[in-house]
Amino acid sequence: MTAPRDVGERSRALYERAARVIPGAVSSPARSLAPVGGVGPLFVERAEGAYLYDVDGRRYLDYLQAFGPGILGHAHPAVTRALADQAARGVLYGTSTPGEVELAERLVAGIGSLEAVRFVSTGTEAVMSAIRLARAATGREGIVTFAGSYHGHADAVLAEAGSGPATLGIEHGAGIPRSTLELVTTVPYNDADAARAAILRNRPAAILVEPVAGNMGIVPPAPDFLPALRRAADDAGSLLILDEVITAFRFRAGAVSDALGVRGDLICLGKIIGGGLPLAAYGGRADLMGMLAPRGPVYQAGTHAGNPLSVAAGLAALAVLAAPGVYERLDALGARLEAGLVAALGSTGVAGTVNRMGSGMTLFFGDRKVRDHEGARASDHGRFRAFFWEMLQRGVYLAPSPYEAWFLTLAHGEAEVDATVEAAAAALEVVRGLAERM
Ligand SMILES: *Cc1c(COP(=O)(O)O)cnc(C)c1O
């Protein structure tokens, strides 16, 4: 083992202070560099456009994008203006606001599965609340989910979760009642037959799925997968909950499920819809949403839910994303980056595969194609770790986990993409020298 890698002197000093008062020095475990062999997290004090600036004065081209919310680029003027304007009028009232009506109308108009919507603050709450509603509506308690998916950190969805828990090798988080885990059946992503069998056997309240998996790295659905889930849900009298927290507005100005032709009974949104501020939502069929308090018996609430600042940022972000050509541009950048990475893999002879959809992609090391959690898990994590540090040294910040995505934004240009490919080619030269599967 090599010594833990350091990102800089001032970062190290902050890490030492932070570690005394914040567990692992992070407010969310996925930010830690420990899983990739680092000391503490990156400490960033400023960001602009496509770049992060750390406390040691280093600049990084940002592909983390805060794990998904970033798509406009940092400090986008439309968002900072909207925030300043709202802040001057107060940030929280505990009443309804015109902004949340406008945002709800936009979402309902633009997303096929959404007839009514309720705002919350985090994706975790959106999923947790959608599950509660599904249980109330069906009178059942079971849930079917897919290994390697991430649906936030609520008890019920931390079984075989992807993303952060997978990075840390946490299969079932401690502190979760066994009785809760017993209600959850997890099947492999993209395995329509296994899913159908589990759904018909268990007749769950809900099937919870990411229509494009974003938390085992990017894994697109096989063509038959989502339609099969829809049919099985209908046959079993279960509700289909689409978790689009990471996918909505990432690939198109709306939900990816609409492009894929699948309708959810409920749908969860988050990340991009808040323009970088905490904002998430869940919604779906009007009859189901009508069961929520104060109209119905299903209780769900939030002091900061739909808060004016988040709504202002979200409206501003969605307005930018509604302009013509935005997603074509993001897709073209994604294609350029993918092609560059594939060429760099080819010229260096390092085995790897790139899964991409639009402006989201994951580079998996190893020979096999990745279409589920097993595939992501079997990829060469040792090579990923080495690659991560080689890229960081070259001023490119990736998510510190082989189970996450690279995200492009409107602030990334061809010059940034080409610089990234150049950095990757040099990094892969180093990675090639390493023994496989450390
Ligand atoms: C990020 C994410 C969540 C959790 O959202 P938080 O805002 O972090 O609570 C849920 N589902 C998916 C698909 C996500 O990517």
Question: What pLDDT score was predicted for residue 437?
Answer: 56
Tell me, yes or no, if the pTM score tops 0.85: yes
- Tens digits of residue pLDDT in 94-121: 999 999 999 999 999 999 999 999 999 9
| Greatest CA separation for the chain | 63
Instruction: Tell me which of 31, 64, 119, 127 to substitute to probe ligand 1's pocket, judged by most ligand atoms within 8 Å of the beta carbon.
Output: 127
Do 9-75+325-437 and 77-321 fold alike per CATH?
no
Is residue 271 flagged as an active site residue?
yes
Instruction: Tell me which of 71, 145, 215, 267 to substitute to probe ligand 1's pocket, judged by most ligand atoms within 8 Å of the beta carbon.
Output: 215
Q: Which of 63, 271, 372, 403 is catalytic?
A: 271
Instruction: Tell me if the bond preceding 294 is cis, omega within 30° of 0.
Output: yes
Q: Which of 150, 189, 327, 397 is catalytic?
A: 150
- Ligand 1 atom nearest 122 alpha carbon: 7
Question: What pLDDT score was predicted for residue 8?
Answer: 86
Distance CA(213)–CA(7), nearest Å, equals 30
Q: How do the domains of the chain map onto residue ranges?
A: 9-75+325-437, 77-321
Distance CA(208)–CA(238), nearest Å, equals 10
Distance CA(317)–CA(340), nearest Å, equals 29
Question: What pLDDT score was predicted for residue 2?
Answer: 56
Instruction: Tell me which of 153, 245, 272, 357 to substitute to probe ligand 1's pocket, judged by most ligand atoms within 8 Å of the beta carbon.
Output: 245
Select 9-75+325-437's CATH number: 3.40.50.1100, 3.90.1150.10, 3.40.630.30, 2.60.120.260: 3.90.1150.10
Distance from residue 343's CA to the centre of ligand 1 (Å): 32
Contact (CB, 8 A) for 297 and 291:
yes
- From residue 132, how far is each of 152, 244, 312, 364 by CA, in Å? 14, 17, 28, 35
Contact (CB, 8 A) for 11 and 54:
yes
Q: Identify the bridge partners of residue 298 per DSSP, sorted by sequence position.
A: 292
Question: Kindly report the CA angle at 359 between 400 and 127, in degrees rounded to 5?
Answer: 70
- From residue 11, how far is each of 43, 150, 235, 405 by CA, in Å? 6, 29, 55, 24
Distance from residue 347's CA to the centre of ligand 1 (Å): 36
Select 77-321's CATH number: 3.40.640.10, 3.30.450.20, 3.40.50.2020, 3.30.390.50: 3.40.640.10
Contact (CB, 8 A) for 116 and 101:
no
Burial of residue 295 (number of CB atoms within 10 Å: 0-12, 13-18, 19+): exposed
Distance CA(98)–CA(117), nearest Å, equals 15
Distance from residue 122's CA to the centre of ligand 1 (Å): 7
pLDDT by 10s per residue, the chain, length 438: 456 777 789 999 999 999 999 999 999 999 999 999 998 899 999 999 999 999 999 999 999 999 999 999 999 999 999 999 999 999 999 999 999 999 999 999 999 999 999 999 999 999 999 999 999 999 999 999 999 999 999 999 998 888 888 888 887 789 999 999 999 999 999 999 999 999 999 999 999 999 999 999 999 999 999 999 999 999 999 999 999 999 999 999 999 999 999 999 999 999 999 999 999 999 999 999 999 999 999 999 999 999 999 999 999 999 999 999 999 999 999 999 999 999 999 999 999 999 999 999 999 999 999 999 999 999 999 999 999 999 999 999 999 999 999 999 999 999 999 999 999 999 999 999 887 654
Residue from 310, 241, 243 nearest 273 by CA: 310
Q: Identify the bridge partners of residue 356 per DSSP, sorted by sequence position.
A: 361
Question: What pLDDT score was predicted for residue 7?
Answer: 78
Is residue 150 flagged as an active site residue?
yes
Identify the residues whose C-beta falls under 6 Å from ligand 1.
68, 122-124, 127, 150-152, 210, 214-215, 243, 245-246, 270, 280
Q: Measuring from atom 6 of ligand 1, which residue has the nearest CA?
A: 123
Please tell me what DSSP assigns to residue 67: G
Distance from residue 425's CA to the centre of ligand 1 (Å): 32
Question: Kindly report the CA angle at 105 between 104 and 107, in degrees rounded to 5?
Answer: 65
